[in-house]
Structure 1
Amino acid sequence: MKCERLDTDVLVVGGGNAALCAAIAARRKGARVLVVEAAPKFYRGGNTRHTRNMRCAHDTATETLTGPYTEEEFWDDLLRVTEGNTDEALAKHMIAASKEMLTWITEQGVRFQPSLGGTLSLGRTNSFFLGGGRAMLNALYLTAEKLGVDVLYDAPVTALEIDGGSFRAAIARIGGRDVRIAAKSLVAAAGGFEANIDWLKEGWGERAENFLIRGTPCNRGDVLKMLLANGVEAIGDPTQCHAVAIDARAPKFDGGIITRLDCVVFGIVVNRHAERFYDEGEDFWPKRYAIWGRLVAAQPDQIAYIIFDAKSLKLFMPSLFPPISADSIGELAHKLDLPVEALETTVGTFNAAVQPGSFDHTVFDDCRTRGLAIEKTHWARRLEDPPFYAYPVRPGITFTYLGTRVDREARMQLAAGGATGNMFSAGEIMAGNVLGKGYAAGVGMTIGSVFGRIAGEGAANHACN
């Protein structure tokens, strides 16, 4: 069968935030740009559809941000959550470039609103998209289309032609036909491999069968595998990822942010044996919420339960699903199919260990336990006001960190040494350069926006010169 042919200056593979920032930046540099998105138009945008904010350094308060967030503080936060597992030079380059992003992305039609409340505590550090991720995406697509960027949907890339570290063409499956797309530059922004359970199992084993995928089912890592097979250098650990505890009743794929639970700090978390296994009050939620997916993944059957009482019910944004409630801890244990005596003992022992203090979830308060094997160091209150509530949670994988190594120009590096000739990457597919482990709220969108813009401009400069 004869393969149809297209050609362009810059080919962008992917359809989310990073891809659109790259496409817009390349088009504004004068390049012809084609975006190929594996998903149908309604589901375009990958995980960006489910986001709500991005973290950028800024010097002063704005209409939507309550105060400054310096480059130094951003770096300290990133260093803390990654525990040093980051490319320092590249991360600091991203943070410095993030200062321009709020202005740049607003110029592309994206609008912001003041921070949401609850346990997020992000009013100073993170900018929230007016209308959420889908509205943000729609604004970027509208701008791209007005600029003359071409977009093909339902167009998964099935092969890459790479010669000596230089991109020649991609084969995409479009309308049941193979189409060869030649381009002078490539921007790979096709996400991670979190929706590929078999690939997850290579690192996690059978535990991955119990993982829920928060975002798109399209992120299977096909483009990443092709790039690595063609000599691009890998970076990152295949078991490291952005993983949070989400409602265990969420769908296997695409449940999105409405299945996330922000109530850990208000209660205790137990496993299927009704045992606590970590300090629920270790740090502010935006800096530590992403550790809970990995913690739950290490528990029997990869499930846990957040237990809290009536006084905390309205202090956080709820899940899509209602909490399970009961008038006593014993009744709650029955409903959760947990050992009744064990849960009653865990709660009773916890309550006895809670020290007097002034509860305030917006600061590191003095409400803590004393005498437990695993202390709760902040925001500890006795669970004694019925009804009692619980959310069952499982690991919710947002995106994986194994990806392509890049330099500060977002140019992919070769495993044999040196940079590729005309291949750039942005977003989740190269997030492991910045995120070796851990996560801070909004950083994924920062990586996508900053490196998307850098990649697009670099790809256009190469194509036009």
Structure 2
Amino acid sequence: MIDVLVIGGGNAALCAALMAREAGASVLLLEAAPRAWRGGNSQHTRNLRCMHDAPQDVLVDAYPEEEFWQDLLKVTDGQTNEKLARLVIRESSDCRDWMRRHGVHFQPSLSGALHTARTNAFFMGGGKALVNAYFRSAERLGVQVRYDTPVCDIELQGDRFVAAHVPPREVGGRQLPAERIQARSCVLAAGGFESNRRWLREAWGQNERGEWPADNFLVRGTRFNDGVLLRRMIDLGADTIGDPTQAHMVAIDARAPLYDGGICTRIDCVSLGVVVNRDGRRFYDEGEDFWPKRYAIWGRLVAHQPGQVGFSIIDQKALGRFMPPVFPGTAANTLEELAGLLGLPPAAFVDSVQAYNQACQPGTFDHTRLDDCHTVGIAPAKSHWALPIDTPPFYGYPLRPGVTFTYLGLRTDESAAVHFAGRRSPNLFVAGEMMAGNVLGKGYTAGVGMSIGTAFGRIAGTRAAAAAERISSPDEARHDRATA
């Protein structure tokens, strides 16, 4: 029998598998995706948010624990478990040496990358390179890896893990039978339910306009996070945490593909202009705070607009101040022309932009700080970086909500154990997006998802190896045989 079964193939799962193997356990990792699509949402990431008290290799200045905590507290509006959040923060301070030992390389923050040179360590080659490095290290250490192997059911005895069930499936033109895979302990790291349209529909329901908002959501990440395992754990009585409508949801280019658009579809010029809905009206403060702390609220904001669509509008002055997205903006020499090209009502759109322009107050523009360029006498206000949109050509980018991962998950504590009626399972653990809601009740700040996955993946792997060792003792072995 295998010691530790890891279900999932992203950052958290790989961290768990590596830690369990380093602890001496035999490890089997099951990845639902084919090899070419391995890595879950982690393949689309770029960086890890890191606490540090002094400059460290690719990180400049300092980013102490209390500042990290205050940033997280602010973006979540207090909907976070402080004990677990601080655990993640502290773990982020010393994980990079371990990551390097497994082949991950870092580079300085990219120019225009959300002002993160102080707070975030960037992976050289991005998330795909990180995932590939971890898989190479896992295979070198003797971790067994199986692709095209989704898990549809978990077999429990009370709160104790017994086996995972894999459904019949076709792989490479061959029909494979159902399987029952036993292990002494298990780590669940199979992601959220963002690619399950039926579940998203169920969570978001219909709005007052009779629309099903979820029908218009795009998925920034993997198509394989269908939530089947999460739903099964909920049905089996695992304790849950989080609101099913809360997610890391970004405003992305409406022209992005349904799945796997990744970071290059994100629109990063929001704070440099205005955003209007399909009626040509502004609906939120575009300059509320630094973009790394606010970019992930805009998907949800757009989701509540008519048709779940918005438009980011800038002028010539904004060019060169943000990371350009993969699709070019629609350009026009007049606001009226831009409205026609974007399908917006010209009069309402021009009125919105002109009202904003008139409300802009003179100041010293500085996109690297919370400057004094703001609006007066208009709602919604723009708190910072408010420059009139008056220099052609003008540009417009259509927006849709892009779901990265959902926050409804399994409740846990510092042990990473799955809880049943408030009690820890002795041999079933959880990491990554399946438990991120313990730390992220709402909101997001750049790189913290990877911080959570790395911290709890490492904890879950270590704990799972220890649980497997206990179960391998003579007394536990007799118990297993008697109850199998």
TM range (shorter): over 0.9
**Structure 2 counterpart of 1:207, from 202, 209, 213:** 213
Distance 1:418 1:62 in 2: 40
What amino acid is aligned across from residue 299 of structure 2 in structure 1? G
C-alpha displacement at 1:160, in angstroms?
Answer: 1.3
Aligned equivalent of 2:188: 188
SS of match in other structure, 1:258: helix
Aligned equivalent of 2:141: 147
8 Å CA contact 1:93, 1:408 repeated in 2: yes
Length-normalised TM-score, structure 2: 0.93
C-alpha displacement at 1:159, in angstroms?
Answer: 1.7
**Structure 1 counterpart of 2:10, from 11, 16, 20:** 16
Distance 1:57 1:356 in 2: 36
Aligned equivalent of 2:428: 423
Distance 2:61 2:19 in 1: 29
Aligned equivalent of 2:339: 333
Length-normalised TM-score, structure 1: 0.97
SS of match in other structure, 1:99: coil
Aligned equivalent of 1:4: none
CA offsets 1:67-105 (integer angstroms, 9 cap, x no match) = 111111111111010011011111112212221212221
C-alpha displacement at 1:117, in angstroms?
Answer: 2.1
The 5-angstrom pairing of residues 149-298 of structure 1 reads: 149-173=143-167, 175=171, 176-205=176-205, 206-298=212-304
Distance 2:186 2:57 in 1: 37
The 5-angstrom pairing of residues 43-442 of structure 1 reads: 43-118=37-112, 120-173=114-167, 175=171, 176-205=176-205, 206-414=212-420, 416-442=421-447
What amino acid is aligned across from residue 100 of structure 1 in structure 2? D
Q: Which moved more, 1:281-290 or 1:315-324?
A: 315-324
The 5-angstrom pairing of residues 1-40 of structure 1 reads: 7-40=1-34
Q: Is residue 459 of structure 1 aligned with residue 453 of structure 2?
A: no
What amino acid is aligned across from residue 368 of structure 1 in structure 2? H
SS of match in other structure, 2:94: helix
Number of residue pairs matched? 458
CA offsets 1:322-362 (integer angstroms, 9 cap, x no match) = 10011100000000110001111111111111111111100
What amino acid is aligned across from residue 193 of structure 2 in structure 1? F
CA offsets 1:43-68 (integer angstroms, 9 cap, x no match) = 00000010000112112112211111
C-alpha displacement at 1:119, in angstroms?
Answer: 5.5
- RMSD across aligned positions (CA): 0.9
Aligned equivalent of 1:3: none
C-alpha displacement at 1:318, in angstroms?
Answer: 1.4
After superposing on structure 2, the runs of 4+ consecutive aligned residues of structure 1 that deviate more than 6 Å are none
**Structure 1 unpaired stretches of 5+:** 1-6
What amino acid is aligned across from residue 462 of structure 2 in structure 1? E
**Structure 2 counterpart of 1:445, from 447, 450, 465:** 450
Distance 1:451 1:373 in 2: 42
Distance 2:365 2:113 in 1: 13
Q: Which moved more, 1:310-319 or 1:272-281?
A: 310-319
Q: Which moved more, 1:110-119 or 1:422-431?
A: 110-119
8 Å CA contact 1:119, 1:262 repeated in 2: no
Distance 2:100 2:141 in 1: 16
SS of match in other structure, 1:458: helix
What amino acid is aligned across from residue 97 of structure 1 in structure 2? E
8 Å CA contact 1:56, 1:102 repeated in 2: no
Distance 2:381 2:150 in 1: 49
